[in-house]
Structure 1
Amino acid sequence: MSALHEAMFYQSIGAERVLCTLCPHDCRIGPGGRGACGVRYNHGGKLYTLVYDKVVARNVEPVEKKPLFHFHPGSIAYSIATVGCNLRCAYCQNWTISQWPKEHLPTQLEASGQEEEIEPVCPQLNRLETAVPGERVSPEQIVDAAVRCGASSIAYTFTEPTIFFELAYETAKLARSKGLKNIFVTSGYINEAPLRELSAVLDAVNIDLKFFQEKSYRHISRVRMQPILEAIRLYHQLGVWVEVTTLIIPGVNDSASELRDIAGFICALSPDIPWHVSQFYPAHRMSDVPVTPVKTLELAVDIGQQAGLRYVYQGNVPGGGGENSRCHYCGGILIERYGFHVLANRIVDGRCPQCDTQVAGIAMSA
C-alpha cells in the first residue's frame, strides 16, 4: 500500500475501524472498506485517499466557466479533478467520473451515520480490486503546468473537490507560494474543520445551492441540506469570495417560492454575492426531464433582483445578455460576455465608469 497517501480528517474507533470526518456523511469504515465517496479506503485501521495523485481530468479554461464572474474576470484557470463524489446527483453531467467508484464497486453496503434511513452509503470491500483511473500527477507538476500555461489560478472542479481534499490542499499551498489563486467548485458538503483549514489557502468558491427543500437534497443528491447552507455561510464569513449556482430543473426546484427562498438566503448573507441561475439539460438518470425554459431563468433573475441581490446571471444560455455584468445602481453594462468569454470590461478602478458606484468582486478592473 506504499502508493497510497494517508488521508486527513479521520479518527480510529477501534477494531481497525475508522470514522471519516471530512464530510457530513461521517462514514464509519471497516477494514477494506471505502466511504460514501468511494475513494477513501481503510487499510489496517488507517484511512487512505486513493486519488492523491490520480488526476482524471485537467483543462485550461476561462474562470467564467466555473462560473466565477466577479473574480479576476477574463483570467485563465487551470482546472483539475479526480474521480469520486460524496453526492449522488441523479442529473450529474459528469457522472462517468464523479460516480466512477460507485459504478465499479460491489453492491454489498453497510449503513452509516445519518444517511441510514435514506440509503446505505458505505461500500465495503474485502480487498482493493479495481485500479482507480487517472494520470499520476503530483502537486508540484500541477502547479508547474498552471504556471507554464499562463493561468492565474488553479480550479479544483468537475467532480467534487472535497473528496480529493489532500491533493487539493497540498496543491493549493504550493500554488499560493507561486502567486497563483485557488478556486473550489463544490457542492459544499464538507465539515467545519476541513473547511476552515482549506479556507486558509482558498481564494474563491462557487457553491451549488441545488435546492431549498430537504426532501429534494435527500432524494436526488443523497445528502442533507443544512450542512451545505452552513458551508456557504462559513466560507463567506472566513473571507473567501463566494458565488452561488442553482441549476433550475423543471418540476423540481423551479417554483417561485423555492427560488425566493434561495435568493433570500443568499441575500441575507450579502446582496453582493453573485447568483448564477443555470439552464438544465437532461443527463444521467434524469434524461427524461425537459430543458429549462428561458422564461423560467428570466423569472429567477427577477426574483433574485427583487430579493435584493445585485448580481444575478443566466447560465448555459449564451448570447442572450444574461451573462453581462451590470451596475446595480445605474444599470450600465460593466462587463459584456458571450457565454464564458469576456468581450469588454468597462470597469475602472473597481467602479462603474458611468456613476462611480463600487463593483463587488476581486480584481474586477480590466
Structure 2
Amino acid sequence: MNETIPLVDTVPGRYWHHLEDGRIQCDVCPRFCKLKDGQRGLCFVRARQDDQMVLTTWGRSSGFCIDPVEKKPLNHFLPGTPILSFGTAGCNLTCKFCQNYEISKAREMDKLGSLATPEMIAKTAKAHGCSSVAFTYNDPVIFLEYAVDVAQACRELGLRTVAVTAGYIGDKAREEFFRHMDAANVDLKGFTEGFYHKLCSAHLNDVLETLKYLKHETGVWFELTNLVIPGENDSYGEFDEMTNWVRDELGPDVPMHFTAFHPDWKMMDHPRTPPETLLRARDIAMKNGIRYPYVGNVHDKSGSSTYCHSCGEVLIGRDWYQLSDWNLDAHGKCNNCGTECGGVFQARPGMWGPKRQPVRLITKS
C-alpha cells in the first residue's frame, strides 16, 4: 500500500508518466507503482513530489566497506581484487527470506548517514586501491539515478562498477542502468512463478527478460546466484529446469552460485540448507552443461574453485575468499590446454584475500 510520508531532500527521478486519473506511474520496475502527491512506492525511496517523481536517497548511504570481489559473489570478474561496497535503503521486492532486511526494509531516515557524493565514493575507492565499486546490500535498481552518477564518477578515475541486483527492472530503465555497469550478479531466486509470487511479490518472467537482455544486448559480465531454500526451491526438477534454461538462453559460460539459506526475517521456521543439497544442485548444473557452477555460504574448497571445462585442470582455487591455485595465462586461458575461461581477468590475480575493511569516505580533494 502506498504511503504518504514527509519527504527529505530529493533529486528528480526518471522513468515515470502521468495517468488519466491524476496519479503518476513509476516505470523503473515492473511493479509500476501509481502515486498521488506525497505518496511513496513500495520501494519507499521513490516518491511523488508535486507533479513529478523524485528519488529520496541520492547521495546518502548505509555504510561503506571494502570486500573481496568474490563476496558479491563474482568468481570470474577480476579475481582477488578489493571492491568498495555500499548500499542505501529500501527494495522493490518483498522477499520473506531477505538476509539484508535491516537495510532493504528500512526507511531511509533510519539507516542513511551523511552525504556521499559520487565523486567522494570514486576518490575513496581509488585511494584504497580498489579495482571497482559495488552497489549492493539493497537493490541499486531503486536508486538508479544515484547509481548511474556514481558509475560515471568511477569511470572517470578508471574504476569499474558492479550491480548486485534481483534484475527486477523495467525495459527502458534497464537500458540506461546496465549501460553504466561493467559487471553484475543477478539473483535468480527460484524458477517458478509460484515462488516469485508467494515469497517475493514479483514475477519470474520479468527477471528472465533482464537476463536475456544482459546476455544478448550488452557487454556486461554477469553471474547468477540462487539462494536455495529447503522446501521452497530445492527440488531436482526445479534445478534441472533452471540450469537447462540458463544453458539454452544464456549459454554455458554464465557462472551459477548455489548458496545456502539461513533462517531470517519472516522465514525463521525454515531450516538451513544442507550442504548436500547445494552439491546436488551443482551436480545437476554440470550434467546439464553449465561450465562454472559453485556452492556458496558453506566451506567447500572443491565446490568453490574454478575448473577448465576442457581438461579439468584447476584454474582458480578458492578457500572461502582466499585464492590458492592460479592456472590462467595473461589472456585468461588454461595453462594446461589453452582453453579460454569465460570472464574478465587480469594478467595476475589480486591479493586482497578474505579481508573485510570498513572505510570512511574521503571528503577533501
TM-score, normalization: structure 1? 0.89
Mapped pair 1:325 → 2:306: yes
Q: Secondary structure in 2 aligned to 1:276?
A: strand
Pair 1:2–1:213, CA change in 2 (3 A): closer
Structure 2 residue aligned with 1:248: 228
Q: Is 1:360–2:346 an aligned residue pair?
A: no
Q: Is the 8 A contact 2:167 2:186 kept in 1?
A: yes
Q: Is residue 168 of structure 1 aligned with residue 147 of structure 2?
A: yes
Matched, 1:22 2:28: yes
Distance 2:346 2:233 in 1: 32
Unaligned runs of 5+ in 1: 105-129
Alpha-carbon distance, 1:344 to partner? 3.1
The count of aligned residue pairs is 339
Describe the shift of the 1:43–1:16 C-alpha distance in structure 2 as closer, same or farther (beyond 3 A). farther
In the alignment, what sits opposite 1:80?
86
Q: 1:296 aligns with which of 277, 282, 285?
A: 277
8 Å CA contact retained: 1:64, 1:341: no
Q: For residue 186 of structure 1, what is the aligned residue in structure 2?
A: 165
Residue in 2 aligned with 1:196? 175
List aligned pairs for 1:207-356, cutoff 5 A: 207-237=186-216, 238-268=218-248, 269-349=250-330, 350-356=332-338
Task: Tell me which amino acid in the other structure corresponds to 1:141.
Answer: M
Alignment partner, residue 93 of structure 1: 99
After superposition, the C-alpha distances for 1:232-252 in whole angstroms (9 at most, x for unaligned) are 110112121110000111100
Q: RMSD across aligned C-alpha pairs, in angstroms?
A: 1.6
> Given residue 176 of structure 1, which amino acid in structure 2 is its aligned partner?
R
Distance 2:114 2:19 in 1: 33
Instruction: Call closer, same or farther: CA 1:221–1:2 in 2, change over 3 Å.
Output: closer
Instruction: Tell me, in whole angstroms, the C-alpha distance in 2 between the residues paired with 1:327 and 1:131.
Output: 47
Q: Deviations over 1:276-324 (max 9, x none)?
A: 0011111111111111111111110110011111000010112442111
User: Aligned partners of 1:185 and 1:346: how far apart in 2?
Assistant: 27
Contact preservation (8 Å) 1:250, 1:290: yes
Distance in 2 of aligned mates of 1:195 and 1:362: 22
TM-superposition CA deviations, 1:130-178 (whole Å, max 9, x none):
6663332111111111111111001001111101111101110111111
Q: Distance in 2 between matches of 1:254 and 1:311?
A: 19
Q: 32-41 or 314-323, which moves further after superposition?
A: 314-323
**In percent, how many aligned pairs have the same letter?**
35
SS of the counterpart of 1:144?
Answer: helix
Q: Is the 8 A contact 2:103 2:111 kept in 1?
A: no
Cα displacement (A) at 1:9: 1.1
Q: Which moved more, 1:134-143 or 1:306-315?
A: 134-143
Tell me how far apart the structure 2 counterparts of residues 2 and 221 of structure 1 sit (CA, whole Å). Answer: 28
The TM-score with structure 2 as length reference comes to 0.90
Question: Which of 153, 163, 183 does residue 132 from structure 2 map onto?
Answer: 153
Does the 8 Å CA contact 1:93/1:284 hold for their aligned counterparts? yes
Question: Which segment is superposed worse, 317-326 or 285-294?
Answer: 317-326
Pick closer, same or farther for the CA change 1:353–1:243 going to 2, 3 Å.
same
Kindly indicate whether the alpha-carbon contact (under 8 Å) linking 1:314 and 1:322 is maintained by their aligned counterparts in 2: yes
| Shift, 1:15, TM fit | 6.5
Q: Is the 8 A contact 2:83 2:130 kept in 1?
A: yes
Helix, strand or coil at the partner of 1:357: coil
Task: List gaps (5 residues or longer) in structure 2.
Answer: 1-6, 349-365
SS at match of 1:55: coil
Partner of 2:355: none
1:127 equivalent in structure 2: none
